[in-house]
Structure 1
Amino acid sequence: MKHILTIVALALLSVTSYAYQPTNEPPVKKMKANVVQHIVLFKFKPETTPEKLKEILAAFEALPSKIKEIKGFQWGTNNSPENHAHGLTHAFILTFDSEKDRDAYLPHPAHKEFGGIVGPWLADVTVVDFTNQGK
């Protein structure tokens, strides 16, 4: 009996070893087709204090809890060594399941309220949206 179990274990090991073929290609996480990425880049006026900046960031971070169409929210400060930021310091990526959801977000009262909070402190803003075309 012990001999049969050893043979079965070796057979299973050889099958699983054969099935796993490591590659040199990095794993690719695919986004759902038609997902909309809403990219927002801010350049703040020089007079924006650290306290005001903290208030603005907290208000932006609160939007996903107020607007159900926002499915993902990421942000960070520029750390690119390429020197092409044109003074833009903060980047935000909001993810929506569709253009319809993004379009519902734009006039949403919570988004409009946030615009009133951040608007007076902005020296520049860039917004780019794209629908995932990846394969």
Structure 2
Amino acid sequence: MSLVPLDGADGRDAWTVRSGDGRAFAVFRVDDGLRVTDAVCPHNKGPLDQGWLRDGRVVVCPWHWYRFDLDTGACETAPQHHLATYPVVERDGARFADVGEPAAPLSWAERLRAHARGE
């Protein structure tokens, strides 16, 4: 378990936080609390914290208008894309995102295979 503090809102409905290992996450204020996702759109790496919140549960990427459900990460625009979502936990009155451990680095062969698959 790797916890990232969700501070830094400064009155905004969306902002970015970073983990100690440099990963970035977008935080969204919705009607019933906070939602945390990867900071960039899985389609073409657009900055999701600059997107629009719709219907209280959907973020729209500002680059190509791909729509993602903040509860499930499902893409309403193109189902082959999925946005990672992370649970919010409370510890001693402060809120954190449980972002898990970073993925193990890929070998060069794994990177080349992923690139060939278009990932």
TM-score range, shorter chain: under 0.3
Structure showing greater Rg: 1
Greater RCO between the two (CA within 8 Å, min separation 6)? 1
Larger helix share, 1 or 2: 1
Normalised by the length of structure 1, the TM-score is: 0.23
Normalised by the length of structure 2, the TM-score is: 0.25
Larger strand share, 1 or 2: 2
